[in-house]
Chain A
């Protein structure tokens, strides 16, 4: 545990990429293999065995620290991290413990199914034997939430350097489904033949937002443009008669989307398709929509797809109300061959054949936008919203399929966000690095002389602005309710959002998507902020 905690602290103490890679590399060179596989699992977001409930951890920590729950909550409000809060309130440990990372995990796994009594005494013993930093890291492991400012790319680079292997190879090997209990570090990383790992997806190629003018990209005829869909970026894999669906979060979501299962027999073996999972019709019984010519070519709003995401059981009702399709836009593997070094154009023509041959409505081809000049493309961009798209993806016809977020060949060009001017009404402290400051805000618009909250946002301000708003909040708190402060309604912000939907869950009757602060409108008094009527008219225009 000490070695892993030291690694954690080294990573935590630097914001320099090279130092992080050095620390990781040193760990992957020195730690025993049994530890490494667990460390890798943690760094790649695999959850350790869930033995404890968060509530239990908190309850036992309170007991040991001798403080009431409300005080714990206040403390948590200042720390912004449960594992860390617990490590700070516990009495300082008196003894120490030499168990290493995998030994702890082994004991944890044994504890599964044990009585709460046994779990409690295990945990209290552990807390007593670990240093405060170790307790913190240990708690993080127990809660399965070890986010430490190290991207997967860095981990891959460090392991690559440590074992003398290309990053892309490592990246592929550690993707997909593997379990630190059954796979050894050696087999996973050094395995020369990863074909047995049938389900492995490829690392996704991600685009940056376009900078400057379209003309800077060169000739228009060197580029494809597709609609940018607002769904779940996914890879669909068919190999050896089996089908796997992966989301970009590297989550295997095959079971969540049974609609896609018939593709197993309708695309050739050894196929990997990159695309977007979206919800499409049935047409709603809405006369206004029935006369809409684009009705069948437009996905349902994202909030409908959202009903599919967190759900364990896919019921019949859900399948009829929110059926999904895969909107295909790239082909990464064909007949078992990795196509990523082929050009976009070549991959696209193969993809068109595969989609056409499949003849299934749940596999759609993401259409290319027809344009000859950049001006034509600019004109077409205006249709994004009515198409139910977020804008364009612009892809170089000669582009290979790259790993991760890269500039140059793929660009996203999103529509400008919708926006209203709203009044800050509630504030809460942030979490993580913002845990001392009030950074999470709720905004409201006017309805008559009442302010109706409609969105929460916590990004978009500069550090200086955050400080200023924080100060205002502290000096203008009308009421405290737990961690939430009601603030004198004076500050106005321009709130941008990507989408807007009706909502029965919100008092305003409206839910906005990806709200963020575009501007601190110091020039605007609260009275002149937008009204709920303004917001409703945006909703009407948008639907």
Chain B
């Protein structure tokens, strides 16, 4: 009997037949990267392979000179008789599920994913497989996302209210992914919009790479009174920072799936929480797993033990796997300028 197609090692998810890792957390020779968030795309690997839309951000974050091969979705790559291909994960721009096939047996490592089409990252695709490796960031039945349109209306309402009260609206979310989603879906804007340095850099990179994003001005050297009715897009790290002072008076909004629970919002001392996530919610995790037809599931990060137990009770063989994903800290200092 041959070894399993993918193994969970101390360095990451490993395909022994091909000598390739998926999203390794220790430096390896060859790494396939599902997406450019820092817990999945780590520095120090000798060779990278990723979707072409991940390229600009990977080079920004890991170094312009990394050895990187890019592919389109569905474009097959054969290594040592193992067939690899990337498929849309809907998580952020360029995010991919990695399909791995060996003589008819299919594994899919899905990285992070969401089912809701956010209008920028591209729609998620269900990939039929025997073994599915899933996240479970929001793998509890308390996490169910409202429709994107409702949340955008809520954000607009908040922005409008702040305009009435003469306050700036500081809206926070991950610079890569969440912010582009907000930019695309909040248009047409009801007032001026400015960006924190980290947001500005990511946006510019994506614009340079040809993505359809409007120019959001960098919130520096701007006349203070212009902030009054403006929306300021900032990464979560801006919360509580001195940088925010220039916008006073302001109201803070925070975009995250965690905002579904009141305690999570209150603990952060923010004014408004908006439930908007780039991960699958409880219902979508369950429906996706069932649609893949997988007879075995590995749960890599999030509420792993709970979610695996739940799947097992439903009759789907599931295992909890310890990984180092799920601690997204995307703002490195180089990006957090201004």
Contacts and interface: CB of A to CB of B under 8 A. Distances in A.
Interface of A: 12-15, 65, 67-68, 70-71, 74-75, 78-81, 84-85, 88-89, 92, 149, 431-437, 480
Contacts of A15: 266, 269
A13 B264 contact: no
Contacts of B153: none
A74 B302 CA distance: 13
Contacts of A70: 309
Nearest to A14: B271
B264 A436 contact: yes
B142 A435 contact: no
B327 to A, nearest CB: 9
A480 to B, nearest CB: 7
Given A13-B271, A432-B266, A435-B264, A68 B140 contact: no
Contacts of B143: 88
A75 B263 contact: no
A68 B313 contact: yes
A308 to B, nearest CB: 34
B25 to A, nearest CB: 14
Contact of A436 (B258, B306, B313): B258
Contacts of B335: none
A491 B17 CA distance: 43
A435 B262 CA distance: 9
B263 A79 contact: yes
B245 interface: no
B330 interface: no
A142 to B, nearest CB: 17
B144 A433 contact: no
A89 B313 CA distance: 18
A85 B144 contact: no
B160 to A, nearest CB: 15
Of A13, A84, A431, most B-chain CB atoms within 10 Å: A13
A71 B263 contact: no
B272 interface: yes
Of B267, B271, B313, most A-chain CB atoms within 10 Å: B267
B260 interface: yes
10 contacts: A71-B140, A75-B142, A78-B140, A84-B261, A84-B262, A88-B143, A431-B263, A434-B263, A436-B264, A480-B305
Given A74-B306, A89-B141, A92-B144, A434 B262 contact: no
B269 A78 contact: no
A436 B263 contact: yes
Given A78-B140, A89-B141, A432 B306 contact: no
Contact of B272 (A13, A67, A68, A434): A13
Of B141, B271, B272, B310, most A-chain CB atoms within 10 Å: B141
B73 interface: no
Nearest to B269: A15
Contacts of A89: 141-142
Interface SS, B side: helix
B218 interface: no
B165 to A, nearest CB: 10
B263 A433 contact: yes
B8 interface: no
A16 B140 CA distance: 32
B266 A88 contact: no
Contacts of B269: 15
A343 B49 CA distance: 81
B100 to A, nearest CB: 29
B198 to A, nearest CB: 21
A496 to B, nearest CB: 24
Of B263, B266, B305, most A-chain CB atoms within 10 Å: B263
Interface in B302-323: 303, 305-306, 309-310, 313
Contacts of B305: 480
A12 B260 CA distance: 13
B263 A88 contact: no
Given A71-B310, A78-B261, A434 B141 contact: no
Contact of B142 (A14, A78, A432): A78
A432 B263 contact: yes
B144 A88 contact: yes
A435 B261 contact: yes
A207 to B, nearest CB: 28
Of B144, B261, B306, B310, most A-chain CB atoms within 10 Å: B261
Contacts of A12: 262, 266
A88 B271 contact: no
Q: Which 8 pairs from chain A and chain B are nearest by CB? A: A88-B142, A435-B263, A433-B266, A433-B267, A75-B142, A433-B263, A89-B141, A74-B306
Contacts of B144: 88, 92
Of B142, B272, B305, most A-chain CB atoms within 10 Å: B142
A79 B303 CA distance: 13
A92 B147 CA distance: 12
Of A12, A81, A433, most B-chain CB atoms within 10 Å: A433
Given A436-B267, A480-B305, A74 B262 contact: no
Nearest to B305: A480
A151 to B, nearest CB: 16
A452 B274 CA distance: 44
A505 B3 CA distance: 54
Given A89-B142, A480-B305, A80 B263 contact: yes
A88 B272 contact: no
A85 B142 contact: yes
Nearest to B327: A471
Nearest to A92: B144
Contacts of B264: 435-436
Given A74-B306, A433-B263, 5 more contacts: A68-B313, A71-B140, A71-B306, A85-B142, A431-B263
Interface in B136-163: 140-144
Nearest to B143: A88
A435 B258 CA distance: 11
A81 to B, nearest CB: 7
A74 B313 CA distance: 15
A81 B142 contact: no
Nearest to A73: B306
A67 B263 contact: no
B267 A88 contact: no
Nearest to B268: A433
A134 to B, nearest CB: 14
Contacts of B313: 68
A92 B150 CA distance: 14
Interface string B238-258: 000000000000000000001
B241 to A, nearest CB: 15
A383 B271 CA distance: 48
B271 A81 contact: no
Contacts of A437: 267
A533 B313 CA distance: 48
Contacts of A480: 305
B130 to A, nearest CB: 26
